[in-house]
Structure 1
Amino acid sequence: MRSIRDIIPGLVAFWVTVLLVLSFGAPAYAVEAVSVPLDGRTLDLRAALEMYTDAGARLQVSTAPGPDGIIRRIEVQARDPDIASNWAVFALANTGNQQIDRLLVAPHYWLPGSGLFTPDLGRTRITNITPSEGFAPERVPSKESDVFLITLDPGAVVTFIVELQDERLPKLELWEADTYRDSVNNYTLYRGLVIGIAGLLAVFLTIIFVVKGTAMFPAAAGLAWGVLIYVCIDFGFWNEFFDLTASQNQIHRAASEIFLSASLVVFIYTYLNLDRWNTTYRIAVMSVLLIMAVVVAIAMIEPSFGAGVARIVFGLTVIGGMGLIGWMSWMGYDRAVMIIPTWILLLFWLTAATLCVLGVLDNDIVQPALAGGMVLIVLLIGFTLMQHAFSGGTVITGDLGDQQRRALALTGSGDMIWDWDVMRDRMIVSPEVEQKLGLRRGTLESHARDWLEFIHESDRDRFRLMLDTVLVQRRGRIVQDFRLRSKNDDFHWFSLRARPVIGSDGEVVRCVGTLTDITEQKIAQERLMHDAVHDNLTGLPNRELFIDRLQTALTRSEVDDAGYPSVIIIDIDQFSDINDNFGLAIGDSVLLAVSRRLSRMTRPQDTVARIGGDQFAMMLISEEDTAKVENIATAILRTLKSAIPIGDEEVFLSASIGIAHFEEEQISAEDLLRQSETALYDAKRKGGNEISVFSEVSGDAAGSRLEIASRLRQALEREELVLYYQPIIKLEDRSIAGFEALMRWEHPELGMLAPAEFIPIAEESNLIADIGLFALEEATQQLAEWQQSPRIRTPLFMNVNVSSRQIFRQDLINDVKSVFLRSPVHPGSLKLEITESLVMENPEYAAQVLERLRDLGTGLALDDFGTGYSSLSYLQRFPFDTLKIDKSFVRQNGQESQLVILRSIIALAHDLDMDVIAEGAENESDVVELTDQECEYAQGFLFGQPMKASEAEEMLFRSTSYTTS
């Protein structure tokens, strides 16, 4: 057994530990001491630190075990007992037999790990240091770091408690004094070199700006000054002259980063000349600069926020600038190509800086290296600008003399010089003229008479007269267009603008001016003149040119007693079926084939023209015998019946032909053409594929249709076509919901004509497009007026009928767009009524047209539902929003089956999300039944007949609801 003497020391140690726990309230954990080497190596103490954040005004810690292995507890009081402080604890050990003196260094600003969004901008890091034994470390004066002299006795282990200004201590190192002094001196030299280079760059670019005056030079100078200011603050240059506090340094550092970011934005904007490309760039840059100005004001209070915004803007500018430079380089912009190497280097610099502020890169050379890299980038930018400043020849700046200005203007205009030395009789032109004509250099440097050989025969006399006139009158201005022959014997048009130069004796000594190549303009003019009187598709003469040639032939026949012309009109039967079944492109190909076949059947003195969509006219002068003319018409029918190959298919045609022969009495070209059209209507009336010759009998028989057709051409100009409006009633409250626009023709002789009397004739004579557009414009304009009237508060819609010729015309979409631009109405309030049979003519094409019309904001109503095919699958496919039930299903005649169909149609429309308008509501029983079936709208004589716009407006003003007795 152990003796009492052996047990007593253990008991004493146990109770001492208990007393310590009771005294300090927690077990003591000692810090691990860092051994300080005698060779003077620099130690990074960040890994050995124990951090205590907001630990209070008093801190109790355990010391590192001493040489005897004993761990002690020490307590430290903060300088300000009312504020919770931040603390750092570390321990140092001197294991040698010599005293060690070291400098403890904590830099005020440390870029690595400073942060991106709310960066640490530096401040005094250490307030006080308390050792566990010995004297407190002595603070060494320094404007850039907190430096303390620490002395360690041989074999000593000292624990240091550091009171911090805040929770951040980005770097803490232990330096040998001489090594630290050498490091500071070395960096001072490096910093001086960098600052000197940056200053020289800023001054140099400023001087270049003063000399050149181009916008990109002040922008580059501003960027250089921004880099200089940033480097000076980062290297503590201003601290050598001004006694700046830590908070002042933060504001200056934030302001420098903001200015650097803003100057980079301005530089990339001005260097790439973005204002020339799009005004959006100017708005964006001005917005960024305005934001940066606001950030500067905020940075006075919160520098960290301002610096964070500046760093983000700088990064976005570099990345966005790389995208702009790449795109403009692809577009061939020289400035963008030249800045690519510099910007790639800037992109690498941004990557390194980002890794640095995020703490990925962390060593002593990163921060000064980044500052030097920024100066290097500005140096490369300066070299790039020098290429712009001193390359590409001499650039004239400043005030120009009159002669210099004239020379520059001539160079900029691209015109060529023409000079005639009258005394030597020698003409000289710019080499570009001979180059354009393919002539050998100096060919056109010759006498005036030799020039005439190169001028077109039709222009020689005018050119010679122009020169003679100038020499005689000794004044004036030469303005003339003429043609010069090229090496390939074709001609180029040139425009000559010149003035005579008068000598001291009052005579013309020379004529000097410019030549401009106007060949393309002349070709365009000739093309426009050709297109004005020729059909764009076939190249044949159009109606106007055909009438002019016909009138010329008639005049010549009367004056010279020459051959009398005959007119043949050919109309392709059922040509719309070809467009519907094969498409418009195939239809155009068929018309081209027909034009070629007709042209081969005429002689040079005859004329073939296209006077309408599928109508051709032929003027025959080569044949006067009426029988032979009719034989030619028969041959035309036979020729057109031959199959026309279209891809793998064949198209077969038939035609109706009308013939008009010249009579002895006086007749105009329009009358002769009208007679042939009358004969054509007669052939059409017989069923097509017929030949009809105009005579008095056929003229009387077709007189009424011909009169209507001819008068329709003038009805629009004379305002004889008007729109009437029939109200559409909302059954829920009997209020006016809208109107249907119905066309009427107030014929001065035949009286009021309904659409059924002239719309078919309008479709046959290709006038339906103009009439339909008139109805669309009038109805939309009237709807816009009603919707904008303050007296009408109820929402209104307008229904307008669309014919088959309109729906399958390519111009319908553009017509609707232009109508909406001139008369804006509420979206969906203009509804186009389209019959069921119309969309079934070409369902695929109709579906595409209707989709585009709906996208434009028009409503679509399916008219006369139930009278056509009634294909439910097609009904679901088409984008109709309204269904109009034919009046035959609305009128009650006692048939139960008819009522069932009416209910089914309404239910079907509701299931398809469509509104229902019932036509033909003529009595109260019809309205009651429609209301019971939840039909939304009704239209009929019970609520009002079609009326003029003024009457409809009065009806709107007078009442918003209807009652029936």
Structure 2
Amino acid sequence: MSDTFTIPADEVTGRILVVDDTATNLYILSKLLARSGYEVYQAQDGAAALDMASAHQPSLILLDIMMPGMDGYEVCTRLRAMPETAHIPIIFLSALDSSVDKVLAFSHGAADYVTKPFQPEEVLARVRHQINLQLAQRQQQYLNAELERRVQDRTHQLELAHQQLLEVAMSDRLTRLPNRLSFVKQLGNVMAQAQIEPEQHFAVLFLDCDRFKRINDSLGHRVGDQLLKEIASRLTRIQHSHSTVAIIARFGGDEFALLLTPLADRQAVVLVADEVLTALAKPFALADRKIFMSASLGIVWGDASYAAAEHLLRDADVAMYRAKDCSYSQYLWFEPAMHNRAVHLLQLETDLRLALERRELEIYYQPIVELCGLRIVGFEALVRWRHPTQGLVFPGHFISFAEESGLIVPLGEQVLEMTCADIARWERSGAISPEITVSVNMAAQQLLQPDIVARIHHFVETAGIAPHRLRLELTERSILNNHAFIDGVLRALQHRNIQLSIDDFGTGYSALSYLHTLPVDCLKIDRSFVQPMTARPDSLGIVPLIINIAKTMNMQVIAEGIETITQLRQLQQLGCEYGQGYLFQKAVPADVAIALLKRPLIAWTREASA
């Protein structure tokens, strides 16, 4: 847009009204001004001057003072009183040249004063000056008007841009649904209304797609994005059919949220939740195939007790994750106990991280006994946590969480390091015979570390122990889920003379199909199979089968959880070589464990042989 401003041409040249009762003066002034390019009007008395000024709106008036009838002062006063002429500058031309006369002229509103007889050059100079002042004023007026118009245009453009930015900021680019910010804003309004009208109920449904990552990993992110659009479309159709669904938003990733209001009861929420799950359970036609998708829902019943939208969304998120972990329901209502659990897990993670930094973990050892000779042939290393306020914490309270949070990797390394250090101390003191081994549990996350073999070798080398002393216990799950990678790891460990054992064998993940190909030295019978054993033959379950499998494959077999003499006798008769359990000894600290090697096992030895 140009920055040059123009005013109409007729206002540039100027129109001048000359008022004088002397014809000669009128003639001279008119001719002088016309030659200079001005449009000139004439009036010989005051009344005519008023009419001409009102009709033609001149740019300037040259006004004589001494005129018959209405003098110049009165004409000037009347011109200033009329709105249409009040702005016109007036130059008095008069033979009166005293200071009093000039002051009187200016007091009546004159813009300038020229005495008669006048000089043409002076008149023209004063006229041009007044015309130029007017032009400057008009130019400034036009400039101000144009600037105001531009400001208004820019303001309008900014308002449009702001609205567009607001729409972008408040909506999800992929699905075109409102986003989290928009949802929180509307939820905040509903919650504020609930404070005023407590009987107005609302609910939030927080939705997360199950196994969505598998879609991205297998079919690519483009198909994943298409799936999210289809999910948004199905949710939108549900919104159109339910007046209570106030807003549906995508929170990011594969998470969506629905705000329902107003609500009479919880049954209305259940109806929407069921419809959402049913809609998403139908196959999606994408990438020339049918894709099936399920979802988990967390539901919060809103009321005046919530002070912040984020608190309500937090609870909905907690309920959703509880539903995801639940095997019997795809949606769960939030309960305060869920929040308490979430707070507990957060504190547990903090405490566990500090425990690793402060090395609060301790290793206890449970003896592994040869069942025929009833002598100790090894130990299983079991971790304990010496909590600064809770005392000794058993692994059942933190190991599963450590696996979920990923802390199992540093925790497992610390356990392995401490165990190797204990073995080294025992070896240096001559307290253990060459046949004594120590078993350490290894989680799946540990085995999947790219440098796991090197790290295990580092701990063994640093401690300076014989590698055969160490037996790593692996679960069937960790082997089966990643057998291609794990097989190479196990063979590398076997090459370094580190023994390997399958823990909890037979608990649901059978590795029989390729068990004979694995470099495994031992099978451990899970305590769940040992506990039911009595003197009755039908109580043995699959224990005889596991023992026969181990013998066929030339593996050792260890029974866990032996607590009674009857269980011991049954295992001896079945030919089980080794066992551990409370019948022999609970897990004890390292110094106590090593002392057990010097203590005769008289009590249960006599009882077992009776």
TM-score (norm 1): 0.33
Where relative contact order (Cα < 8 A, 6+ residues apart) is larger, the structure is: 2
